[in-house]
Amino acid sequence: MRYFVIGTMIALAGLLVGGGVGSYFTSSKLLKQFQNIPGSPIVLSATYNKEKHLIAYTISNPGTLPIKITEKAFVFTPGKESKEKGYVLSNIPANVTIPPLSVAIVELKLKEGTEKLKVGDLVVATFTYTHPLSQDIYTVVHPFTYGVKEKQQTEKKEEKKEESK
């Protein structure tokens, strides 16, 4: 009986030490692999600045590698209230580097000499970016319709007030 208990104790100790060493090596390799996964930029918000005639995009980098936004472009499509004609601006240099796990603001200046945005105007922005692990070029497209969400939210609030009366 004594040899059985000693043998069982040695076997359990071996399993614990082996499991601990194995999980350490596995987790360290897995952690290194996850650290090298580039994130794709996420546009968190877009706001129009009337005075400067630009749209400021808040862009997040959820990855563990820096992302460099090299170019930006956009297509302007007028809404019902706008007198402006549609236009496209492309190949606008950006050179904005977003560090890992952080947020940056990228400004997109609208065409000079054009009128300010009206409710319903659509600006579809394209951001071209790269990351250090590849020579490939990636893009993110974000549509921004001026004033529509604000107008819808105001209408919803008014409807709720009427329903509560």
Which residues of the chain have a pLDDT value below 50? Answer: none
Confidence at residue 64, expressed as pLDDT on a 0 to 100 scale: 85
pLDDT at 54: 93
42-147 CATH pick, 3.40.50, 1.10.8, 2.60.40, 1.10.3470:
2.60.40
Query: What residue type is assigned to position 124 of the chain?
Result: V
| Residue pointed to by tokens 């302007």 | 76
How far apart are the C-alpha atoms of 127 and 72, rounded to whole Å?
A: 5
Both tokens of residue 107? 């400004």
Which residues lie closer than 8 Å to 118 by C-beta, 6 or more apart?
78, 79, 81, 82, 146, 147
Give the containing element (helix H, strand E) for 102. strand 102-109
- The reported pLDDT for the residue numbered 30 is 74
Residue 71's SS3 state is: strand
pLDDT of residue 152: 57
